[in-house]
Structure 1
Amino acid sequence: MAKFTDYHLRDEIYRALDDIHFNEPTPVQARLIPVVMQGRSVVGQSQTGSGKTHTFLLPIFQHLDLEKEQVQAVITTPSRELAQQIYQAAKQIADHFAEGEQPRIGLYVGGTDKNRQVQQLKSSQPQIVIGTPGRIKDLYETGSLNIHTARTLVVDEADMTLDMGFLNEVDAIAGAMPEDLQMLVFSATIPQKLEPFLKKYLNNPVIEEIPAETVISPTIQNVLMDTKGKAKDELIFNLLTMGNPYMALVFTNTKERARELARQLKERGLKVAEIHGGIQPRERRRTMQKIQHLDYQYVVATDLAARGIDIPGVSLVINDGIPNDLEFFVHRVGRTGRNGASGLAITLYTPDEDAKVTEVENLGVKFEPMTLSKGELKPVADRRRRTQRTKSTKKLDPTMIGMVKKKKKNVKPGYKHRIKSEIEKDARYKKRVEDRQQQRSKRKANKTK
């Protein structure tokens, strides 16, 4: 079994890992960190929660030349929230370096003060750049951000970058860098439209596909529920209130549906957070902060807005219908049942979605058909006993089939207590980091007096 000590990292990095209780590398870390440390380019196919952030951050910090005041690594990610998460992870490592030697990290995303960033870059360049493709490209093209000195480019969530139309910006960023660039691409899937970009910049890369059975918890119960003509809003409200979920996450296919469903639930008295493309960036950041602090018990979200965002303590996921892209089904369900806790995922469908249900089942998902009766979930006969099963002619990606296969496992009770304990532990850690930062600020202030 691999250990972090096998990688001969800086002492500061080991202290950072100890501080967040990272004792053993995840499968994606064990496979790729040694390769990245060698300077090889990599394509890593893995899901949210697999530990890929530290897969690229640890080698980047290990290879930093602290004496060079120039950009040495650039990390792009398609959403502001994902960029913020990576920035916080990077800051946590940087905080363990000695005062005056801490690596400089720049966060550059849309919706922030560009002029202020330009002024700051005139005085000093960051050694690690993290941000969204559009803002990084803008700062480079105006001559403010000198990314041409970077030796490493990380493209995180590459398929999502493609879906959101940011691949041209990433292409421009990569084109500004040296020919011997080390590129690290991480993606849940490798769409065909992404392949020309990969061939353009990657020369004989190491390609690793991490099976999702190492990511998706085997403790998730997948329930399938026929709406039977009932109003979805009422059914979802009843499902959300039939028990007392620690955190419930409802996924919709469009931002319009998310907005309408959230409005209906709020009118029924639930305190609901919304995460979708119709929410302004500043408001989305505030909402995410409130969710992280457990100010909301119910969250309504779209796939692209919420993908990759770490929402702690999700014990219930409800799918407001089958997603058009089956990949999103895997992402949705994988939000619950983490860290060995049990999780419940309920997928609503209408008769006209029967073919989509069959496609999900062909991926290896085993649904338990149920209905809601008198506030309780009760088993019902499989839909295939009552209707003619629709055969799907869609060719399924074999990698996706592996994404959802998992072993049966007995689910132990007490998951709410375990979730609460994990979140409290995380809160204590964040408080320690905040206290240390305040102490450092006081010491620096005293030195300047």
Structure 2
Amino acid sequence: MLFKEFNFSAFIQEALDELGFQEPTAVQEKLIPVIRSGVDLVGESQTGSGKTHTFLLPIFEKLNPDISAVQAVITVPSRELAYQILQAAKQIAVHSQSDIRIAHYVGGTDKLRQLEKLKSSQPHIVIGTPGRIYDLLQSGSLVIHKTQTFVVDEADMTLDMGFLDTVDKIAAALPKEVQILVFSATIPQKLQPFLKKYLANPVIEKIASESVIADSIDNWLLSTKGREKNTQILEMTKALSPYLAIIFVNTKERAEDLHAYLTSNGVKAAKLHGGVVPRERRRIMNQVKKLDFDYIVATDLAARGIDIEGVSHVINDAIPQDLSFFIHRVGRTGRNGLPGIAITLYQPDDDSDIRELEKMGIRFVPKILKDGHFQNTYDRDRRLHRKPAYQPLDTEMIGLIKKKKKKIKPGYKKKIQWQANEKRRKERRAAARSQERSKRKAKRQSF
């Protein structure tokens, strides 16, 4: 199927042509017709499946620029994701001959300026984080009672970050006839009450991927046992030649520590985590697009909150506590059929997590970094597959040994020891006789 078959307005098709989009993704092909039909929708699909344009294209198709009112509200759990959707929306809007106003409301931006601007005109499309959108709504400055479409993007992450109550309050202020679209990588049970409260007979679509991660991604495992991790990662940067690599860490503190270490050793690295102020984040993202960095040290916020093109390598500084984030991390590379390499550092305590990931269909290849090169190494489970170097004892011998271990009289211990030794001697003699008989038989047959 081609995008042209959707028969979008000319300016939307121009925007798609500019992006080089010809064929829709599986999510777009299946869900765009559902959204255009006007029904409520719950769409479940993996990260990087094209969800943003799945809802943006129908929104723009339905939007009437002549009506000076908010016609679509899109909530997202992170500032980075809001900015990403904003850029995608602007790219479409610029092709329209009519003026389409798009507002970007997130924490850390100038609220007073936003309030002042809302006095003169309302945006057509609102994109932002739940907290800031609700603040503007509560002040009476943002008016959403004519909204036609309400999108809750990354709903599971919204729930995990504690924003669902605020989204609930926003939804309560919308008109009853509003179309609600919920997109998520997973649909947790705790999300069900919200869905039942606001969605009217929604279409529920789960777009299954052929595998949990793209086939074009190679997953390598590197043991950190007995190694200092910072030093090990620095050695890796010398062995790799990435177009762009993301190093995922589990905490902001670890991001700061590793970023400081790498930059002090001459590595061109940026850092992205929740503690980086919005202005600094925007500057970093602009530099990333200019390829000013080889590496980005990031927390999981970046795994779900931003979309960086051209990531050739992903390095997991540690396995995330929530294993679903492993999929989102690795999904930053290997996009659009391009090859990617995901390298995961692990220690013996991580073995159970690795087994769980393997059950999800992820195949790991054990590697070692030696002499500046990555080389294949032994399977971490080699001990489980090793054949015993001894023959197992029969039941009689086991019984004798167990008796020997009990607290019994010294004389009886000697008797048990003698019995065990005698049995072994008999077995050796029997084996020797059997071998001698076999030799004699073979000799007779030779005549």
Structure-to-structure mapping, 1:297-336, within 5 angstroms: 297-336=294-333
- 8 Å contact kept, 2:45–2:207: yes
Indicate conservation of the 8 Å contact 1:70/1:127, yes or no: yes
Return the offset for 1:7.
2.2
Partners of 1:275 and 1:306 within 8 A in 2: no
Q: Identity of counterpart residues, as a percentage?
A: 60
Q: Within 5 A, what are the aligned runs for 1:371-386?
A: 371-386=368-383
Q: Counterpart of 1:27?
A: 26
**Residue 172 in 1 paired to residue 172 in 2?**
no
Paired residue for 1:72? Answer: 71
Q: Which amino acid aligns with 1:359?
A: E
Matches within 5 A, 1:48-197: 48-98=47-97, 101-197=98-194
TM-aligned CA deviation for residue 339 of structure 1: 2.5
Partner of 2:425 in structure 1? Answer: none
Contact 2:35/2:55 (CA < 8 Å) preserved in 1?
yes
1:215 offset after TM fit, Å?
A: 8.4
The aligned runs of 1:367-446 (5 Å cut-off) are 367-386=364-383
- Per the alignment, in what secondary structure is the counterpart of residue 65 of structure 1? coil
Deviation string for 1:264-319 (max 9, x for gaps)?
11222212101111222221221112112111111100002442412122111111
User: Contact (CA 8 Å) 2:213, 2:362: kept in 1 or not?
Assistant: no
Q: Retained in 1: the 8 A contact 2:303–2:329?
A: no
Give the secondary structure class of the aligned counterpart of 2:162: coil
- 1:402 counterpart residue number: none
Which structure 1 residue ranges, 5 or more long, are not aligned?
Answer: 390-449
Match of 1:286, as an amino acid? R
Task: Give the match's secondary structure for 1:386.
Answer: helix
Is it true that 1:253 corresponds to 2:250 in the alignment? Answer: yes
CA contact (8 A) 1:109 1:132 kept: yes
8 Å contact from structure 2 (residues 107, 129) kept in 1: yes
Aligned-partner Cα distance in 2 for 1:140–1:277: 25
Residue of 279, 293, 298 corresponding to 1:282: 279
C-alpha distance in 1 between matches for 2:221 and 2:360: 15
Match of 1:406 in 2: none
User: Residues 218 and 341 of structure 2 are in contact (CA less than 8 Å); yes or no, is this contact kept in structure 1?
Assistant: yes
- For the 8 Å contact 1:240–1:248, the answer to whether it is kept is no
Alpha-carbon spacing, 1:29–1:214, altered in 2? closer, same or farther (3 Å):
farther
SS at match of 1:211: coil
Match of 1:45 in 2: 44
- Determine the structure 2 residue equivalent to 1:418: none
Matched, 1:6 2:5: yes
8 Å Cα contact 1:255-1:277 kept in structure 2:
yes
CA distance in 1, matches of 2:186, 2:41: 14
Deviation digits for residues 387-416 of structure 1, max 9, x if unmatched?
699xxxxxxxxxxxxxxxxxxxxxxxxxxx
Cα distance in 2 for residues equivalent to 1:131 and 1:71: 13
Calculate the aligned-residue CA RMSD, in Å: 1.6
Q: Output the CA distance in 1 between the equivalents of 2:134 and 2:275.
A: 24
Q: Report the Cα distance in structure 2 between the residues aligned to 1:215 and 1:92, rounded to whole angstroms.
A: 30
Given the superposition, is the C-alpha separation of residues 360 and 306 from structure 1 closer, same or farther in structure 2, using an over 3 Å criterion? closer
Q: Gaps spanning 5+ residues in structure 2: where?
A: 387-447
Deviation at 1:3, TM superposition (A): 2.4
The 1:388–1:177 alpha-carbon spacing in structure 2 relative to 1, beyond 3 Å, is farther
What is the number of residues matched between the two proteins? 386
1:217-272 Cα deviation digits (max 9, x unpaired): 31111011111220111111111210311111100111111111111112222121
Shift in Å, 1:211: 2.1
TM-score (norm 1): 0.83
Contact 1:50 1:215 in 2 (8 A): no
